[in-house]
Structure 1
Amino acid sequence: MKPSNSKVQMAKQMHLNKTLSIDSICESLSISRATFYRYLSL
């Protein structure tokens, strides 16, 4: 997965928002919690 992938960028941006829970971010992007944390590490 490249860091430039749109889902990766969107996950990072949503996480920076601080008003959304991790669960809601994962649900809206249709990704697992593990994938979310993998995206953050990219």
Structure 2
Amino acid sequence: MFQHSGDFVVKTEEKNGWAFPVAYATPKGVDLVVELWEKRTAA
């Protein structure tokens, strides 16, 4: 759902010879998380 919305990006990082995906929130994604968090805590 959120993967292709531009809210998050996945980058490949490498550590000790191992490559792994890491999800990062864009500014739009941070706003989404805050909005969802506020809805959850208000309920």
TM-score normalized by structure 1?
0.35
Higher fraction of strand:
2
Higher fraction of helix:
1
TM-score normalized by structure 2?
0.34
Rg (Cα) greater in structure: 2
